[in-house]
Amino acid sequence: MSFDYDLFVIGGGSGGVRAARVAAGETGAKVALAEEDRYGGTCVIRGCVPKKLMVYASEFPETIAAGRAYGWDMQDADFDWSVFRTRLHAELDRLEGIYRNLLNGSGVTMYDQRAHVADPHTVELADGTRITARHILLATGGRPVLPQVDGIEHAITSNEMFLLDELPKSILIVGGGYIACEFAGIMNGLGVKTTQILRSDQILRGFDNETRGFVADAMRGRGVDLRTNVNVVRIEKTDTGLSVTDTNGDTHLVDQVMYATGRRPNSDNLGLDALGVELGDRGQVIVDDYSQTAVPSIFAVGDITDRANLTPVAIREGMAFVETVFKSNPTKPDHDLIPTAIFTQPEMGTVGLSEEDAAARGPIDVYTTSFKPMRQAFAGEQEKVFMKLVVCQTTQRVLGCHIVAHAAGEMIQLAGIAIKMGATKADFDKTVAVHPTMSEELVTLRNPTRRS
């Protein structure tokens, strides 16, 4: 049977674009891709990239204050949201253009419209056009979801944060995950009165307890009104803004409410149920180790599979798919020991096991240090850095590394290489320190803080 294309990709985010252009450019496959919105997906258009640029913008008040301590005649400055937003969207337009050019340069045919799967080898576009393909790859990502709360129509999600006409004077952020915590730091840094509430007893569930506690304390120290074990009962629109009542009976009068309480895979209305593609309880597409669904010709990568919802992981999954299907080299995407950064303020970087997870597997040594780095100490700032190594007592292999510090993401990327390679505590000890740096503390930790 002949097909219009060797591969049809649904979704123009990082994973889908990488799979499409590598399949076309490196194997000569005939490839098409459909995207109903903007190329680049969540990460480029409404996630990692614009968020990180907002983090940079929000750090300047701290930089200006520190500059005075270093002898600079630094004057307070006002932040112009309209200027920043204009430049932000110009940058996103530029990046989207790069994605389009990469696809075009690889010979990928692009369809700027929604698509769904009509049968195991057929995709139907929104305009009714039907296209056949030997293989179909689902890479439609995920989206934020809002809970059922009275007045929820007055709230926004992270998607809309980049589209605000003006910066609010006050904001209530609901949620305790990395998106909520990152935006709490951003808004606080931009001078917005920021309250963050979450129904659990601590932020960043699933991460190392001691490390996330350190981040929470530091956020409060910077001015975020962080409240735990509380949730929203209702949101009411008033003449002056929004009135939010919580489960403690407190009322918050704010200009804006942002929810970051969960995301859901974009598997709706893709025609998957009728084909026998198995979906999980959250709508995630169930795949095997090679990203193949229950329908042999249909594969899925990225957040739609709800495996490890990170952009670099989606890219790796897309590459493994191409190796498996188009290069005859069966390749499983590696989801073990993924380094990651949470761009809270202060920043957090982590790789490997938390102390709690490691202790559940066997005896461990825990090395920690907390100190005021040179830059902050000279400026008279009080915030400290926190670093932690979790080590197996039996093998002395480093099982986890957790850092809370400026540029923690940069440090954890390099620590991740060592830990991925199976480095032991002795390997860290044998490494000569780079002085004076914060990261040198990772190779000068001599005695365990505790053993368990």
Query: The tokens of 436 are what?
Result: 């004076």
* Cβ neighbour number for residue 272 with a 10 Å cutoff: 23
**Residues 216, 230: contact at Cβ < 8 Å?**
no
Measured distance CA(368)–CA(178) in Å, rounded: 23
**367 and 391 Cβ atoms separated by less than 8 Å:** yes
**Residue 178 DSSP SS3:** helix
Q: Which residue has tokens 């989606």?
A: 314
User: Under DSSP, is residue 365 helix (H, G, I), strand (E, B) or coil?
Assistant: strand
Q: What is the DSSP letter of 421?
A: T
31-34 and 109-111 beta bridge pairing = parallel
| Active-site entry in 252, 335, 402, 435 | 435
Helices (H), 178-243: 178-189, 209-222
Helix (H) or strand (E) holding 353, with range, is none
Q: Which long-range contacts (CB under 8 A, 24 or more apart) does 391-394 make?
A: 391/364, 391/365, 391/366, 391/367, 391/424, 391/425, 391/448, 392/358, 392/362, 392/363, 392/364, 392/365, 393/362, 393/363, 393/364, 393/365, 393/451, 394/362, 394/363
DSSP character at residue 294: S
Calpha distance 318→22 (Å, rounded): 9
Within 8 A by CB and 6+ apart from 269, the residues are 116
d(CA 174, CA 197): 5
Structure tokens at 58: 């929000």
Q: How far apart are CA 124 and CA 34, in angstroms?
A: 10
Give 422-430's long-range contacts (Cβ < 8 A, gap of 24+): 422/397, 423/397, 423/398, 424/391, 424/395, 424/396, 424/397, 424/398, 425/365, 425/367, 425/389, 425/391, 425/396, 425/397, 425/398, 426/396, 427/398, 428/389, 428/398
CA separation for the pair 348, 214 (Å, rounded): 10
Residue 402 appears among annotated catalytic residues: no
CA distances for 365 relative to 337, 351, 370, 452, angstroms: 19, 16, 17, 7
- Catalytic residues, which ones? 435
